[in-house]
A and B are shown apart, each in its own frame.
Chain A
Amino acid sequence: MTVGTVAFLPAAPVLVAGLGGSTAHDGELRAACLAAAHSIVEPAPAAIVVTAAVPSESRPAGSTWDFGGFGVHRDLPSGAVALPWPLGIGAWWLEAAGWTGECVYGGADAPPPARDRSVNVLVVGDGSSLRSERSSDHVDERADRFDAEVARCLATGDVRGLLTLDGEVGDAVGCSGWPAWHWLGRTLAGTTVRDARLLADQAPYGVRYLVAVWHVDG
């Protein structure tokens, strides 16, 4: 598998239309997410690999998003199987960007895929979630520094930096993204990122959301 373009998106249910409520909010952040999704859809790759911090297992064609466990049920298309919700977030953004091609859903513990075709990649995950009074639990003072390092890696295309993010600190600050970012670091080892753009870096609800796009030279 040769990776062409990588999009980094938050695993935030609140940014999904239909989950975040009917009042318009987060418009700038959602626009950045959609732009990142478009950046991997529009080159029309052979497939899009979607990765998040979920267990790796075989997922049948037609797997798709369903957010029933958050209280919003969907009637799945006939034969479709619901994805674990973090992968479902990725599937939802790809659908929003108009993608109808093949998706390969994987977990962050999967081995780097074989380099036998050209694909784009969507990595779903967030920075720290224990960073402010709005967070779900007590604040961990390491959150800011951890998130700053993630943002630097995404903004500069630092593959090795992603791979060396401290997972122990990541867990402590409630970061859901680091396992998938490590996976990407392993997958892109030996490649060069020729263009990296950090499209958004915000924490409006106590979780650090990062949106980025990388263009990779094989």
Chain B
Amino acid sequence: MREMAYDRFEGSDLRWGARLIPTGSPVVMAIVNATPDSFFDRGRDFGTAAALSRVAQVVDEGAEVIDIGGVRAGPGDDVDAGEELRRVLPVVEAARSRFPDAVLSVDTWRAEVADVVCRAGADVINDAWGGVDKELSRVAATHGAGLVCSHAGGRAPRTRPHRVWYDDVVAETTAYLCRLADDAVAAGVRRDGIVIDPAHDFGKNSRHSLLLTRHTDALVATGWPVLMSMSRKDFVGEVLDLPPDERLEGTLAATAVAAWQGARVFRAHDVTATRRVLRMVAAIQGEVDLSVGRRGLA
């Protein structure tokens, strides 16, 4: 593995909703899938009541950001904007009311969906398909919302990669994300609301995702805060030859490596475990102290 960056990243603070996320304090973005068919939870949080229950759970577990999605990432039944809103909007409205301090993100590539959920109180738009709808950044700008700029390799939403070839996946991904972030600023999105996400497995094979994890420091060096969305994905499963429900340890290993190199936001299914890993990495880096310090000191 290439030598890791040992210098602490001196990037800028991130401001999402009412929350200031300073450098050196990575946070967890909890996944809430208001879908019947997402790859890991398989409909566990489908329906407004179930999704809200999940929101309450992850807030209780300490998630700083809640990412609500209404469309499965992979191919499947058509979900138009109307159906996406029927799934997501009631969750955003209720979560906004019950958890006024939580940062609410909505995972959508559609500007029309983003506009409605921002009016209902969403703080961040997670554009996981990487700039497919050019109006999306303007919607984020209009509402003062944060924006996740992602790299999906130019793939259409809800497709899987098929024999995707990159001459240099790290360089191409980094350059694309910087262009997307600059375009977002030009469209009026707050500079301190933008993060970049290499979007593991989106338009990439597992080796591409591993390379991007290995070279997290290249993304961090752009100066943009980096979001890593790795939770239980296929690149973890293909390393270990394990199904999604057995990919926690692999996900946490990737989380530690990316956190060590300066990634700032971790989109995760497993909030408690991810927060523990982030705290442990911060302690090794000397950023936080022991919670208890009795050993050998009594």
Which residue of the partner chain, among A21, A23, A85, A138, contacts B165 with CB atoms under 8 Å?
Answer: A85
* Interface size of A in residues (CB-CB distance below 8 Å): 19
Taking a contact as CB atoms under 8 Å apart, the answer to whether A71 and B205 are in contact is yes
- Per-position 1/0 for B262-281, Cβ under 8 A of A: 00000000000000000000
- Per-position 1/0 for A65-85, Cβ under 8 A of B: 000111110000000000001
Contacting residues, chain A, for B207 (C-beta < 8 A): 70-72
State whether the Cβ of A136 lies closer than 8 Å to any Cβ in chain B.
yes
Chain A contact residues, majority secondary structure: loop
Nearest CB of B to A24, in Å: 11
Taking a contact as CB atoms under 8 Å apart, the answer to whether A136 and B165 are in contact is no
Taking a contact as CB atoms under 8 Å apart, the answer to whether B163 and A13 are in contact is yes
State whether the Cβ of B79 lies closer than 8 Å to any Cβ in chain A.
no
State whether the Cβ of B83 lies closer than 8 Å to any Cβ in chain A.
no
A85 to B166 alpha-carbon distance, docked (Å): 11
A128 to B124 alpha-carbon distance, docked (Å): 39
Which residue of the partner chain, among A69, A70, A72, A135, contacts B75 with CB atoms under 8 Å?
Answer: A135
A129 to B166 alpha-carbon distance, docked (Å): 20
Binds A, one of B19-27, B143-151, B153-161, B289-297: B153-161
Nearest CB of B to A201, in Å: 20
Most chain-A CB neighbours within 10 Å: which of B159, B162, B169?
Answer: B162
Taking a contact as CB atoms under 8 Å apart, the answer to whether A135 and B165 are in contact is no
**Residues from 71 to 87 in B contacting A, C-beta threshold 8 Å:** 75
The residue of chain B having its C-beta at the shortest distance from the C-beta of A11 within the complex is B163
Contacting residues, chain B, for A133 (C-beta < 8 A): 75
**Residues from 114 to 168 in A contacting B, C-beta threshold 8 Å:** 129, 133, 135-139
Contacting residues, chain A, for B160 (C-beta < 8 A): 135-137
- Per-position 1/0 for A49-70, Cβ under 8 A of B: 0000000000000000000111
State whether the Cβ of B132 lies closer than 8 Å to any Cβ in chain A.
no
* Interface size of B in residues (CB-CB distance below 8 Å): 19
- Given A23-B241, A71-B169, do A136 and B161 touch, yes or no (CB 8 Å)? yes
Taking a contact as CB atoms under 8 Å apart, the answer to whether B75 and A137 are in contact is yes
State whether the Cβ of B208 lies closer than 8 Å to any Cβ in chain A.
yes
Taking a contact as CB atoms under 8 Å apart, the answer to whether A138 and B75 are in contact is yes
Which residue of the partner chain, among A68, A135, A207, contacts B167 with CB atoms under 8 Å?
Answer: A68
Nearest CB of B to A205, in Å: 10
**Residues from 16 to 45 in B contacting A, C-beta threshold 8 Å:** none
The residue of chain B having its C-beta at the shortest distance from the C-beta of A86 within the complex is B163
Taking a contact as CB atoms under 8 Å apart, the answer to whether B156 and A69 are in contact is no
Nearest CB of B to A135, in Å: 7
Nearest CB of B to A134, in Å: 8
Taking a contact as CB atoms under 8 Å apart, the answer to whether B162 and A174 are in contact is yes
**Residues from 177 to 236 in B contacting A, C-beta threshold 8 Å:** 205-208, 210-211
Taking a contact as CB atoms under 8 Å apart, the answer to whether B210 and A71 are in contact is yes
- Given A23-B241, A137-B75, A138-B75, do A69 and B166 touch, yes or no (CB 8 Å)? yes
**Residues from 169 to 212 in A contacting B, C-beta threshold 8 Å:** 174, 207
Contacting residues, chain B, for A72 (C-beta < 8 A): 207
The residue of chain B having its C-beta at the shortest distance from the C-beta of A207 within the complex is B162
Taking a contact as CB atoms under 8 Å apart, the answer to whether A69 and B167 are in contact is yes
A21 to B166 alpha-carbon distance, docked (Å): 19
Taking a contact as CB atoms under 8 Å apart, the answer to whether B75 and A71 are in contact is no
State whether the Cβ of B246 lies closer than 8 Å to any Cβ in chain A.
no
Nearest CB of B to A141, in Å: 14
Contacting residues, chain B, for A129 (C-beta < 8 A): 162
The residue of chain B having its C-beta at the shortest distance from the C-beta of A22 within the complex is B241
Contacting residues, chain A, for B206 (C-beta < 8 A): 71
State whether the Cβ of B238 lies closer than 8 Å to any Cβ in chain A.
yes
Contacting residues, chain A, for B159 (C-beta < 8 A): 136-137
A204 to B156 alpha-carbon distance, docked (Å): 24
The residue of chain B having its C-beta at the shortest distance from the C-beta of A129 within the complex is B162
Nearest CB of A to B207, in Å: 3
A207 to B238 alpha-carbon distance, docked (Å): 19
- Name the 10 nearest CB pairs between A and B, nearest first: A71-B207, A69-B165, A136-B162, A136-B160, A137-B159, A71-B208, A138-B75, A69-B166, A136-B159, A23-B241
Chain B interface residues (CB < 8 Å from chain A):
75, 156, 159-163, 165-167, 169, 205-208, 210-211, 238, 241
> Could you list 7 A-B pairs, sorted by A, with CB under 8 Å?
A70-B165, A70-B207, A71-B205, A71-B208, A72-B207, A136-B75, A136-B159
Q: A71-B205, A71-B211, A136-B160 are in contact. List 5 more A-B contacts (CB 8 A).
A: A21-B241, A71-B208, A129-B162, A138-B75, A174-B162
